[in-house]
């Protein structure tokens, strides 16, 4: 007996729409509340000289001065617009492919797209820029083997600018080189070094920017006050200065984690266990999917070598950051997009029915997607998925808060709750 189901592409679009609504809601909420670790990160600027992550704030404040629009509204605009573009181009990649149930384990994983649903404090972070550009690169630029001075300058500029927005980009820039290499390898095109000049330019641009930040950043003691005062003069509250801006100086950022006792913190919070389990919960369905797709063993080996190398690069920064889950999520999403492009088969006639025997797989998928989540930081254990989501909602409802903004009123009204302070 067979059961008709919706087209998987339609279900994915519905899933993306729900994720986008959730992302937009919390993006607005974080920025209106002037979250110092999210909105504050976007508003770092060069008021005191060359500083890490300052380019985004410089651009936003310039636009704010020209348009007389509050900087936090511009932060919201960039966050939501970029995430919209990311989902749009990701859908363009998926539309050309046949989606099977095993791939849904990756797409619906709490470690990839659903990460923002379970942990709203990662919403609005700057990695949305990288996600967007990577999907655009695969959708539009990947098959371009022609080289020109303009393209080299363009890719160099992208790498340079992205590192000035967030230095973490340098650790993921190799994704572009490998993606181009794998695309050429899979098509049995003879490898030529000039095919990679664009991608090498991107890596080189990011490296130059990183070295500039490392050796030429301002180290003056009054840096934070100067940067903060500029934001206050643009109508923001002192709250905006109490998060990311406290770590705006490169050397101070690194030393703060040394004095913070990050190693002891990592051990006391069971980070090694929590994020090792997260890696297993992501890679296990990934390799089941690859086996079910009957991917060429040489391709799997090449892919595996790269993701191990990339993981080593990533782990190298874990000694100076405490939000391991956030950076693992960047890693997982880039892998997800890569896998979607190279390992899903091109669109075939999709089956509209499935046998009831496959219902067990669907139930396992739901259990996998809803029973756990990866915290972005600061928790001793894996999250409990939908149980944690319910607990978070109840906590927000039952505990008074100083915030009484539009977003809180909307959710309380939606839930039919009369708040008593």
pLDDT, one tens digit per residue, over 66-110 is: 999 999 999 999 999 999 999 999 999 999 999 988 999 999 999
Residue 5 has what pLDDT?
46
Could you tell me the pTM of the whole model? 0.92
Intervals of the chain under pLDDT 50: 1-5, 259, 351, 421
Tens of pLDDT, residues 195-233: 899 999 999 999 999 999 988 888 766 788 999 999 999
- pLDDT value for 248: 80
pLDDT score, position 229: 94
At residue 192, the pLDDT reads: 83
Q: What is the mean pLDDT of the chain?
A: 88
Per domain, the residue ranges of the chain are 2-383
* pLDDT for res 91: 96
pLDDT of residue 355: 62
To the nearest 10°, report the CA torsion of 150, 152, 155, 159.
-130
């Amino acid at each position: 007996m067979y059961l008709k189901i919706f087209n998987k592409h339609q279900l994915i679009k519905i899933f993306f729409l729900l994720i986008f609504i959730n992302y937009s809601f919390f993006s607005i909420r974080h920025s209106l509340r002037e979250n110092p670790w999210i909105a504050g990160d976007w508003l770092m600027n060069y008021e005191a000289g060359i500083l890490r992550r300052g380019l985004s704030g410089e651009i936003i404040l310039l636009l704010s001065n020209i348009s007389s629009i509050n900087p936090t509204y511009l932060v919201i605009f960039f966050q939501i617009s970029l995430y919209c573009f990311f989902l749009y181009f990701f859908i363009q990649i998926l539309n050309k492919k046949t989606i099977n149930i095993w791939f849904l384990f990756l797409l619906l994983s709490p470690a990839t797209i659903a990460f923002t649903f379970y942990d709203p404090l990662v919403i609005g972070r700057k990695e949305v820029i990288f996600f967007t550009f990577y999907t655009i690169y695969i959708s539009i630029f990947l098959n371009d083997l022609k080289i020109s001075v303009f393209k080299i300058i363009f890719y160099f500029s992208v790498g340079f600018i992205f590192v000035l927005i967030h230095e973490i980009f340098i650790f993921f820039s190799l994704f572009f080189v490998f993606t181009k290499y794998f695309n050429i390898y899979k098509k049995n095109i003879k490898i030529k070094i000039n095919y990679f000049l664009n991608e090498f330019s991107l890596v080189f641009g990011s490296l130059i920017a990183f070295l500039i930040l490392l050796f030429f950043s301002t180290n003056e003691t009054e840096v934070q006050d100067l940067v903060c005062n500029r934001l206050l003069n643009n109508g923001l509250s002192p709250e905006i200065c109490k998060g990311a801006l406290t770590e705006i100086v490169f050397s101070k950022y690194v030393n703060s984690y040394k004095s913070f006792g990050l190693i002891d913190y990592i051990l006391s919070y069971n980070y090694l266990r929590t994020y090792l389990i997260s890696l297993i919960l992501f890679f296990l369905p990934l390799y089941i999917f690859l086996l079910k797709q009957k991917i060429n063993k040489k391709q799997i080996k090449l892919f595996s070598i790269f993701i191990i190398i990339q993981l080593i690069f990533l782990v190298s920064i874990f000694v100076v950051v405490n939000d391991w889950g956030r950076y693992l999520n960047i890693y997982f999403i880039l892998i997800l997009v890569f896998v979607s492009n190279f390992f899903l088969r091109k669109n075939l006639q999709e089956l509209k029915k499935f046998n009831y025997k496959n219902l067990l797989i669907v139930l396992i998928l739901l259990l996998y997607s809803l029973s756990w989540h990866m915290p972005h930081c600061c928790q001793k254990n894996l999250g409990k998925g939908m149980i944690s989501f319910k607990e978070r909602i109840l906590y927000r409802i039952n505990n008074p808060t100083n915030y009484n903004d539009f977003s809180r009123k909307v959710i309380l009204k939606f839930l039919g709750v009369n708040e008593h302070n």
